Amino acid sequence: MGRYKCAYNCENSSDSDVKFFKFPLYNPRKLKKWLANMKWKDWTPTRFSVLCINHFEEQHIDRSGKSVTLREDAVPTIFHSDADAQKKASVNPRIKKHKAAAAKASEKDSSQSATTAATNSVQNTEPGRTPADPPGIDKDPKKSDKWRIIVDEGLMKIESFPHFFHGDYCVPQSIQWAPDENFSGQHKDTVNTIEVKEAWQWLGLDVRGPLPQTPTGHKYVLTVTDYFSKWVEAVPMQSCLPAQVAKSVADIIAHFGFPLRILSRLPHDIVHKINRDLKDQLKVAVALVVHHHQTGTADLITPPLIDRMVSDLITEHAADWDVYLPAKVFSLCFKEHSRTKERPFSLLCCSGLQPVQSPRGLDFDYSDIRESAFVVK
Q: What are the structural domains of the chain?
A: 1-90+125-190 (no CATH), 194-376 (3.30.420.10)
Sign of CA dihedral 37, 40, 42, 46: negative
- Which range is least confidently modeled, 41-50, 72-81, 232-241, 330-339? 41-50
**Could you report the per-residue pLDDT of 105-162, keeping only the tens digit for each?**
444 444 444 444 444 433 333 444 433 333 333 444 344 458 999 988 766 554 433 3
Q: Which residue has the higher pLDDT, 126 or 213?
A: 213
> What pLDDT, on a 0 to 100 scale, did the predictor assign at position 138?
45
pLDDT of residue 15: 52
- Other CB atoms within 10 A of residue 172 CB: 16
Please give the pLDDT value at position 96: 43
Instruction: Using the CB atoms, write b or e for 45-73: b if 16+ within 10 Å.
Output: bebbbbbbbbbbeeebbeeeeeeeebeee
Q: Cis ω on the peptide bond leading into residue 210 (within 30° of 0)?
A: yes
Confidence (pLDDT) at 6:
54
Query: Does 181 score more than 50 pLDDT?
Result: no
Nearest of 230, 231, 260, 232 to residue 221 by alpha carbon = 232
Across-strand partners of 236? 221
Mean of per-residue pLDDT scores for the chain:
75
Q: What are phi and psi of 262, to 5 degrees?
A: -120, 125
Rounded to two decimals, what is the model's pTM?
Answer: 0.58
The larger pLDDT score, comparing residue 359 to residue 366, is at: 359
pLDDT of amino acid 44: 74
Residue (of 63, 61, 81) closest to 71 by Cα position: 61
Q: What is the pLDDT of residues 303-321, one digit of tens each?
A: 999 999 999 999 999 999 9
Percentage of the chain exceeding pLDDT 70: 67
What confidence score (pLDDT) does residue 206 get? 95
From the list 377, 341, 356, the residue with the least C-alpha distance to 198 is: 377
